[in-house]
């Protein structure tokens, strides 16, 4: 069970911030990895906000998650410019390499695969984002090579 007392410290940082909920949830998710039911319940208790309101915000924004994710989140753009530039083939190769479908997490907990809407880099489509790094002009082979680098880094930190 995570140390929910840390949530109190996070909320306190934003006590003078108007409409602080998004900031609180961002920091809480960074601390706990996901906005699970116990975590959201504790945020509701501390902030004295309705749990339903907090859950609504946590599930509305795509960068919040209520389920634990892998160490690295791979987001593949599924908008038209990427699609026109063969993102389907790139995605297929990523799925084969990770042995995942969209929304899944690898058995070792290293990767989660997701769709994302436009990343604003249509000129270098197709693109993917791994954590906070964006990669463009992808080919299926280039995408897999990038993920192999993350896998090597992940296994060397184990």
Per-domain boundaries in the chain:
5-60, 72-156
Which pLDDT score is estimated for 155?
61
CATH superfamily of 72-156: Glutaredoxin (3.40.30.10)
Q: Grade residue 113 by pLDDT with cuts at 50, 70 and 90.
A: very high
Indicate the pTM of the whole model: 0.71
| 38-53 mean pLDDT | 96
Give, in order, the Cα–Cα distances in Å from 45 to each of 19, 22, 122: 16, 16, 43
Task: Give the residue from 31, 28, 27, 56 showing the smallest Cα distance to 42.
Answer: 28
């Amino acid at each position: 069970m995570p140390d929910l007392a840390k949530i109190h410290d996070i909320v306190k940082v934003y006590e003078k911030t108007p409409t602080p909920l998004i900031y609180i949830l961002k920091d809480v998710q960074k601390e706990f990895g996901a906005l699970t039911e116990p975590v959201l319940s504790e945020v509701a208790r501390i902030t004295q906000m309705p749990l339903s309101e907090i859950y609504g915000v946590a599930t509305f924004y795509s960068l919040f998650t209520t389920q634990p994710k892998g160490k690295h989140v791979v987001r593949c753009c599924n908008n038209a410019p990427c699609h026109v530039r063969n993102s389907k083939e790139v995605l297929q190769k990523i799925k084969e390499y990770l042995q995942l479908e969209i929304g899944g997490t690898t058995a070792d907990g290293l990767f989660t695969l997701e769709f994302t809407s436009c990343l604003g880099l249509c000129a270098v489509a197709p693109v993917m984002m791994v954590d906070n790094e964006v990669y463009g002009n992808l080919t299926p082979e280039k995408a897999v090579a990038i993920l192999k680098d993350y896998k090597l880094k992940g296994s060397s930190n184990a």
